[in-house]
Chain A
Amino acid sequence: MSKDIRIKKGLDIKLVGIAEKTTKISNQSSVYAVKPEDFHGIIPKLTAKEGTEVKAGEALFHLKSDDRILFPSPVSGKVTEVIRGARRKVLAVKIAADATQSYKDFGTKNASEMSADEVKNYLFEAGCWPFIKQRPYDIVANPNQAPKAIFVSAYASAPLAADLDYTLAGKEAELQAAISAISKLTEGKVHVSVGANSNSPLASLNGVELHKVSGPHPSGNVGTQIAKIDPINKGEVVWIVTPQDLVVIGELFLTGKLNLARIVALTGSQFKNPQYVTAIAGASIADITKNNLNNDNTRIISGNVLTGKEVKEDEFLGYYDNQITAIPEGDDYEFFGWNKPVFDKVSTSRALTFSWLTPNKKYDLNTNTNGEHRAFVVTGSYEQVFPLDIYPMQLLKAFMYKDLDEMEALGGYEVAPEDFALTEFICVSKQPHQKIIREGLDLMREELG
C-alpha cells in the first residue's frame, strides 16, 4: 500500500537562476579529483600511489577499517598528485584523465539470480558501496548491520535543485536493475518517493513501495520521508541511495562498467546560461562552468545553497553532487540594513520584511549573513519550517552541551545535518545548525556506536 506524504511545515526558497532544460555535452576535464571528505567520517587507506595508472572504476583507496569498501577512480588515467593536509590527512587524489577512457570490466550480472551476499560483494568490488548511505549518522553504510528498509527520494525540493525527472529521463532500465539488486540487501521494503505531480522515471518501477510527496522543502529530503513513512528507532538502521546513484549501480549490472557520468544542473544568478551539462563526478569546476560563469565576487557551491560545499574554480565537483550553484558574495555593508524595510531578501517573519507579499517572486540572494551570531533568543520559529516530530531547538541545545542521553531521547538518531538546513537559514541568531548537528552525530557515533 502506498502512503502519500504531505507536509505543510517548510519553506520554498525561490531563487533566480533555475536551470533551463537543455543539456550541454561538456568536454572531458583534463583533471579529476576524489576527495575523502565527500564521504563523511571515513579514514582512507590509499592503494593507488602517485604515478599509478588506473582505469575508470579501479580503486584509489579503501576504508582503513574495512578493506572491502573501495573508493573508485571516476576516470581512467594517471594518479598525478595526492594532496595532504595537517597530520598527512588525505584531502584529494588527483587523476589526469586519458584522452580515451578505458573502463575496468566487472562483468554483467543479473541481480534477480543473485543472493544478498553476492550483490554486496559485487557492489564492494566495483566501488559502488559508497553510494549506499545510512541513517543514523548520515554516513556511508556499515555493511555489517542489516537495514530495516531502504529509501530513495526522487523528489528534489531544495532551492534550484536539479529536476530529477529531467536528468534521469530514459534511465528506467538502469533504475530497475539497481532496485532489483538493492532490494536483496534488506528484509524490509524499498521505499521510493516521487513528486505528486511528477513524471518520474521511478514511478513505474517494480518491487518498490511508491510514495507521492507534496509540500514545500524539505518534503524532498529523505529524512523527512523516513520520518513520515517509517521513523528510525534506537538500534535500527535504514539505508539511503539517491536515484542518480541508482543509475550508476544499474548501469554496472547491465554493462559491467562503472560510469560516473551524470547530468549536472548549473544554477544561480551568476551563471549566464543556467542549464544542464554532462559531467563526471570529481570533474574540475572550471571545466564544467567554462564560458558560463560570471566570476566577479562569486560564491561557487558544489550542491545547493543550503547544504552544498563552497568550492573554488580550481576545485572539483563533489562525489554525490548533481548541482553547481553560483551566487554573489555578500561581503559589503548595508546602511541601516537591520531596520530598514526589506524587499529583496527572504524572511519568514513580517518584521518590515516583505517577502510574504510576493510568494512567487524569485530572489537573488547573496552570502551575507544579514546579522551577527548570537545566543538562541527567538523561539517557535524553527518549528514552522521543520516537519519532523522533534523539538528542533531543544535537540540543537542538547547537541551543543553534549548530553548523550538527551541527544538520543530527543531524536538524534533520526536527523541528518541537511534536516536542519532550513532552520539554519531562518535562524535569527545565525547559529550554525548543520555544524552543530554534524558534530553531535559524530560524537554519538563515537560514544554509542
Chain B
Amino acid sequence: MGLKQNLHNLKEKYKGTKMAPAFNAIHTFLYLPNEVTHGGTHIKAADDLKRTMNTVITALIPILIFGMFNAGYQHYAAIDPSLRTNVLANFFTFDNLWIGIIKVLPLVIVSYGVGLIVEFIFAVIKGHEVEEGYLVTGMLVPLIVPVDTPLWMLSVAVVFGVVIGKEVFGGTGMNILNPALTIRAFLFFAYPTWMSGDKVWVYDAVERAGTADAISGETILGSYAQGQEVIYSNWDKFMGFIPGSVGETSTLLILLGAAFLIFTKIGSWRIIVSTFMGAAVMGLIFNQVVAADIITESSKFYGLMNTPFWEHLMIGGLAFGAVYMATDPVTASQTNKGKWIYGFLIGFLSIMIRVFNPAYPEGVFLAILLMNVFAPTIDHYVVQGNVKRRMKRLKAKTA
C-alpha cells in the first residue's frame, strides 16, 4: 500500500504512547495529516504554522548561502587585501564556499540538531506535539553568531535558549523573549571575551592572533567605535562584502527577504518600516549632536555618533534584526498600533545602545530583547484605548 499507508498504520500503533509526538513530528513533516474539522467551521484555509515557518526559512536561505561565501571571502581578503579591489570576481569562488561549508554549515547543523533534540525531549515528556517554532529559530541562530563561534559554545547556548527562553513558558507561542536572541544574548554574556573581540568575526583570525600571520577581523562598527579608518565602501556595506555575523552583512539580500515576507503577508511591514524609522531618527539626533558641536572628536562616542544616520541602517545587525527578529509574532506587539510603537522603539534603542555601549558596539539584539519584555505593556495600552472607547459609548448613552 506504499509509504502513506505504512506510516498511517505506524501512527495508529504509536497513538497514545509516549513516543507519539516524536513520531507525529516526522510523519507530519512528510504528509499533511488526515485530520478533519469537528464543530466550528467545516473548511479551513490552506495555511498552517509549518507553512508560515517555512516561508520565513525560504526568505533566509539566500542569506545563508551568501553568508557561506562571505565567510571564505573575508578570510582570504584579510590575508590578501588586494582581493578587495575586484570583489565580484573574487567572491563567488569555490574556495570561499568551502570555508563556508566547513565553518558555517556546522553551525547550522549543530543549531538544528541540538535545538530539535531539546524540542523532541520536551514534547515527549510533556505529551504535546513538536511545535514548529524551532524551525525558524534553528535557522536564525547560525546567522546571528560570528563565524568563529565554537560549536560547543553554540550547543550550550542553544540548550539554554530553548529551555529557559521557550520551553519553561510552555513552548512555541508562549515565550516572552525571542529564543534566537536569547541564545545570542547567552553567548554574549557567558563568553564576552570570545564573542566581542575584533577577531571572532573572520575565520582563523583568532588562531592567527599574535603570530606573524595575524589578520584583522574588525567589524565596521568596531572600527568606528575606536575612531579608526574604515576601508569598506558604501557599496560593500550595502551588498554585504564586510565582516560581521554570518547572515547580517548583506543589506540587499535582507531587504529582498523583507520584500518577500511582506508580500507573502508573513512578516509585519509595520514593524519592519517602523524599526528602520526609529533607527534613522536616533541616528539623525546623534548626527545633529555632532553638528552642533556638543560632542567633539575627543569623546569616545564621536566615531559612532558622527556616522551618517543612513549608514547606521546598513551596518551591524540592524537590518537583519528589523526584518527577521523584531517581526517574530509571538514576542512582538500583537496589535497593529502597538507594532508601530514597538518597532520604532527597537530602532531607536538599537542605535542608542550601539553608540553608548562601552564594551561592544552593537545594540540591536539587546534592544529587541528589551522591547520583547515591553511588548505586552504596549499592547495593554493600545487595547485599553479600545476599552475606553467602549466605556465612552456607554456613558454617552446613559448620560
* A interface residues, Cβ below 8 angstroms from B: 13, 231, 233-236, 299, 301, 305-308, 310, 325, 327, 329-339, 342, 345-353, 355, 365-372, 374-381, 383, 389-391, 393-394, 409-411, 421, 424-430, 432-435
Q: Name the A residues within 8 Å of B7 (CB-CB).
A: 333
Q: Which among A352, A370, A379 is the interface contact of B48 at CB below 8 angstroms?
A: A370
Q: Name the A residues within 8 Å of B390 (CB-CB).
A: 233, 409, 411
Contact of B32 with A377 in the complex, beta carbons under 8 Å: no
Q: Is the contact region of chain A dominated by helix, strand, or loop, or is it mixed? A: loop
Complex: how many Å from CA A447 to CA B151?
A: 56
Q: Which of B4, B42, B132 is most buried by chain A, counting CB atoms within 10 A of its CB?
A: B42
Q: Name the A residues within 8 Å of B397 (CB-CB).
A: 233, 236
Contact of A377 with B47 in the complex, beta carbons under 8 Å: no
Q: Which among B31, B49, B332, B383 is the interface contact of A334 at CB below 8 angstroms?
A: B31
A339-B51, A369-B35 known; 4 new pairs, CB 8 Å cut-off, are A330-B36, A334-B31, A350-B265, A372-B33
Q: Which among A368, A378, A380 is the interface contact of B32 at CB below 8 angstroms?
A: A368
Contact of A425 with B46 in the complex, beta carbons under 8 Å: no
Name the residue of chain A whose CB is nearest to the CB of B263: A350
Contact of B173 with A377 in the complex, beta carbons under 8 Å: yes
Contact of A367 with B42 in the complex, beta carbons under 8 Å: yes
Complex: how many Å from CA A133 to CA B52?
A: 40
* Chain B nearest CB, measured from A376 CB (Å): 6
Q: Which among A347, A351, A378, A421 is the interface contact of B41 at CB below 8 angstroms?
A: A421
Contact of A339 with B335 in the complex, beta carbons under 8 Å: no
* B interface residues, Cβ below 8 angstroms from A: 4, 7-8, 28-52, 54-55, 129, 131-133, 170-174, 263-266, 268, 329-330, 332, 334-336, 339, 379, 383, 386-387, 389-391, 393-394, 397
Q: Which among B46, B131, B386 is the interface contact of A375 at CB below 8 angstroms?
A: B131
Contact of B51 with A410 in the complex, beta carbons under 8 Å: no
Q: Name the A residues within 8 Å of B39 (CB-CB).
A: 310, 432, 434-435
In the complex, the 3 A-B pairs of residues with the closest C-beta atoms, listed nearest first: A371-B48, A337-B32, A375-B173
Q: Name the B residues within 8 Å of A425 (CB-CB).
A: 41, 43-45
Contact of A381 with B44 in the complex, beta carbons under 8 Å: no
Complex: how many Å from CA A302 to CA B394?
A: 38
Q: Name the A residues within 8 Å of B32 (CB-CB).
A: 333-338, 368, 370-371
Q: Name the B residues within 8 Å of A349 (CB-CB).
A: 47, 52, 55, 264-266
Complex: how many Å from CA A425 to CA B54?
A: 20
Given A234-B394, A347-B47, A374-B172, do A380 and B36 touch, yes or no (CB 8 Å)?
no
Q: Name the B residues within 8 Å of A347 (CB-CB).
A: 45-47
Contact of A377 with B266 in the complex, beta carbons under 8 Å: no
Q: Name the B residues within 8 Å of A231 (CB-CB).
A: 393
Q: Name the B residues within 8 Å of A233 (CB-CB).
A: 390, 393-394, 397
Q: Which among A301, A355, A383 is the interface contact of B42 at CB below 8 angstroms?
A: A301
Contact of A377 with B330 in the complex, beta carbons under 8 Å: yes
Complex: how many Å from CA A299 to CA B42?
A: 9
Name the residue of chain A whose CB is nearest to the CB of B382: A391
Contact of A377 with B394 in the complex, beta carbons under 8 Å: no
Name the residue of chain A whose CB is nearest to the CB of B24: A372
Q: Name the A residues within 8 Å of B55 (CB-CB).
A: 349, 351-352
Contact of A377 with B329 in the complex, beta carbons under 8 Å: yes
Q: Which of A235, A372, A389 is most buried by chain B, counting CB atoms within 10 A of its CB?
A: A372
Q: Name the A residues within 8 Å of B263 (CB-CB).
A: 350
Contact of B43 with A367 in the complex, beta carbons under 8 Å: yes
Q: Which among A339, A366, A432 is the interface contact of B54 at CB below 8 angstroms?
A: A339
Complex: how many Å from CA A337 to CA B4?
A: 13
Complex: how many Å from CA A369 to CA B42?
A: 8
Contact of A327 with B173 in the complex, beta carbons under 8 Å: no
* Chain A nearest CB, measured from B328 CB (Å): 9
Contact of A353 with B47 in the complex, beta carbons under 8 Å: yes
10 contacts between A and B (CB under 8 A): A333-B31, A338-B32, A348-B47, A352-B51, A352-B264, A369-B36, A372-B33, A372-B35, A375-B171, A432-B40
Name the residue of chain A whose CB is nearest to the CB of B266: A351
Contact of B393 with A393 in the complex, beta carbons under 8 Å: no
Contact of B334 with A380 in the complex, beta carbons under 8 Å: yes
Q: Name the B residues within 8 Å of A329 (CB-CB).
A: 36
Complex: how many Å from CA A411 to CA B388?
A: 11
Contact of A366 with B43 in the complex, beta carbons under 8 Å: yes
Q: Name the A residues within 8 Å of B334 (CB-CB).
A: 379-380, 393-394
Q: Which among B33, B40, B50 is the interface contact of A339 at CB below 8 angstroms?
A: B50
Q: Which among A308, A331, A337, A410 is the interface contact of B386 at CB below 8 angstroms?
A: A410
Given A330-B36, A352-B55, A368-B32, do A374 and B173 touch, yes or no (CB 8 Å)?
yes
Contact of A368 with B50 in the complex, beta carbons under 8 Å: no
Name the residue of chain B whose CB is nearest to the CB of A337: B32
Q: Name the A residues within 8 Å of B329 (CB-CB).
A: 377-380
Q: Name the B residues within 8 Å of A336 (CB-CB).
A: 30-32
* Chain A nearest CB, measured from B173 CB (Å): 3
Q: Which among B33, B37, B49 is the interface contact of A367 at CB below 8 angstroms?
A: B37
